[in-house]
């Protein structure tokens, strides 16, 4: 389990860094260039909006596993801190189960979309990028997130059955 967690940590950190250090600066640079071309030379790129939409999707998908891994999401600490340890453990298991189910359903849907887009060679309007690439990105992220939630649920169950303190957060 530790080996899988270490591998997942490397993958999620790498994706997060690519999104933050490569994709976001690329979006900013392209938009600045497009603004100059639009207002100075009256000749903007026609594909800037399409490209930035795809890149923003990538930033979101690349950051999601890392944000979840480090518990970076907004939580209800005021409510959960008043709960008993056992209730917090049960709530964590419910959170992991719901998260796994959501990303399982999303992954199944994106698998169908991926096959459809790939079979019919669907492309975007201006850049003519294959649409199946975005479906594949969502599919891979769904798999990573489902794996993360499943791994966390197993860790939580092992803590509960071993009788250890479930109050502490999972240390990374």
Q: Which residue has the higher pLDDT, 80 or 123?
A: 123
Q: Does the structure show a pLDDT above 90 at 38?
A: yes
**Predicted pLDDT at 126:** 87
Under 8 Å between Cβ of 146 and 100: yes
Domain membership flag for residue 169: no
Domain count of the fold of the chain: 1
For all residues of the chain together, what is the average pLDDT?
Answer: 87
Query: Which of 111, 88, 98 has its CA nearest to residue 146?
Result: 98
**High-pLDDT (> 70) share of the chain, %:** 93
Coil, strand or helix: which one is 130? strand
Query: Which of 140, 67, 65 has its CA nearest to residue 107?
Result: 140
Domain membership flag for residue 151: yes
How confident is the model over 141-154, as a mean pLDDT?
90
Coil, strand or helix: which one is 126? coil
Which residues span the domain enclosing 12?
2-162
């Amino acid at each position: 389990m530790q080996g899988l967690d270490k591998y997942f940590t490397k993958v999620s950190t790498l994706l997060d860094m690519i999104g933050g250090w490569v994709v976001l600066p690329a979006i900013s640079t392209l938009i600045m260039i497009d603004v100059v071309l639009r207002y100075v030379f009256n000749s903007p790129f026609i594909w800037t909006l399409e490209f930035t939409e795809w890149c923003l999707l990538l930033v979101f998908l690349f950051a999601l596993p890392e944000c979840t891994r480090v518990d970076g999401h907004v939580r209800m600490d005021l409510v959960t801190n008043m709960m008993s340890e056992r209730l917090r453990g049960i709530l964590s298991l419910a959170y992991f189960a719901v998260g796994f189910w959501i990303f399982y359903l999303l992954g199944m849907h994106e698998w169908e979309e991926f096959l459809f887009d790939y079979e019919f060679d669907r492309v975007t309007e201006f850049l003519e990028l294959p649409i199946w690439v975005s479906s594949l990105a969502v599919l891979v992220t769904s798999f990573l997130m489902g794996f993360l939630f499943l791994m966390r649920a197993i860790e939580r169950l092992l803590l509960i059955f071993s009788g250890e303190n479930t109050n502490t957060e999972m240390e990374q």
